[in-house]
Amino acid sequence: MTYFQWRTLNTFRKLLGLPPRLNFGFWQKLKTRIENGGEKMVVLAPMADVTDEAFREIIRKYSRAGELGGGPDVFWTEFVSSDGLCSVGREVLLRDLEYGEGERPIVAQLFSSNPKNMEKTARMCKELGFDGIDINMGCPDRSIIKQVAGSAMITQPKLARQIIRAAQKGAWPLPVSVKTRIGYNKVEIDNWVPNLLSCDIPVLTMHLRTRKELSKVPAHWEMANLIREEIRNKKLETMYIANGDIQTLKDAKDKNSNYDIDGVMVGRGIFGNPWFFDSNRDPESISIKEKLEVMLEHTKLFLERLGDIKNFAIMKKHYKAYVNGFDGAKDLRVKLMESHSYDEIERHVRVFLGN
């Protein structure tokens, strides 16, 4: 079936009062697992200058380790500008879309307010071999808002629909999902969610805060089930992932048990803990030495893969998380923050460990 045949089919189905056919693609396997009573999803959030190829490989190694069912159910890339990918500087941005086969299924996340660029880059990501495309409609950063992208899409419902349709056309037959927030300056679930669902998306990820709230307040888990109600009201089978304040794997599983969702997305909880998704590892059992050795491995991998295009300072946000909660952590952290090379980092760690 072509994209246009799919759109035409769903137009007629809606006229007849029937629910649309959703294009689940690789998500269908996860949907079937959940419907058959299997575990709900725990997936990795896309985070700029965090979930790059190097960190994803570290997570894959220590959380997935090639085992069936291990690690996050789905990887996301960092979000990438469709406009940038259509510019002369695309070669650098294309590096953000590099991934390893061990990360599958993997979704490329894009953002733009230009439908033509979105269609073009969604097609580009399909050709790069991604399993799905996700559109960022939740980023609260001012530089993204100025582009009328990210969470600014909440204020532009018609444009948001055009962007989704453009991605669907370009990526076909890959599934196109959306990650967003519950509102811009206030909660707008009643209007915003139906607007997105009208585009027949197979998966919706909802950060349970408004754009105005950023991450300054606790996520509104009391509203989590309201999104499911909107999906049911439309008689849709759209899968729904909730995001916000997931700090441990136990927390993720508890949220999956207690709320009417298909899964949770883990963001900041992954910092300093690439073992997050490994149910066989108790976080308390990870020694300081092991954590610091993995931090060094992460640093070396970052420099090997991305050192020519990304600032070394990006690693320092990881150091703050790796080096925390143990005797001497503060002094070591200060030294790492003042370092500018792998050799300096390794020297400070070896002195701390006494070897």
The catalytic residues are 139
Tokens found for residue 354? 């006494």
**Beta strand pairing call for 239-243 and 75-81:** unpaired
Q: Tell me the one-letter amino acid at 190.
A: D
CA angle 153, 155, 157 (to 5 degrees): 70
> Cα separation of 138 and 265, whole Å?
14
CA angle 106, 231, 13 (to 5 degrees): 95
Residue of 195, 192, 197, 188 whose CA lies nearest to 235: 197
Residue 33: DSSP 8-state: H
Are 87 and 124 in contact by the 8 Å Cβ rule? The answer is no
> Cα separation of 263 and 237, whole Å?
14
> Cα separation of 25 and 252, whole Å?
25
Q: How many angstroms separate the Cα of 207 from the Cα of each of 4, 102, 140?
A: 31, 27, 11
Task: Describe the crossing of helices 288-306 and 342-353 by its angle, rounded to 10 degrees.
Answer: 170
Kindly provide the b/e burial profile for residues 108-142, where b requires at least 16 CB atoms within 10 angstroms of the residue's own CB: bbbbbbbbebbbbbbbbbbeeebbbbbbbbbbbee
Are 153 and 160 in contact by the 8 Å Cβ rule? The answer is yes
How many CA atoms lie within 13 Å of 275's alpha carbon, on the beta-carbon side? 14
Beta bridge partners, 134, equal 109, 177
Residue 60: DSSP 8-state: I
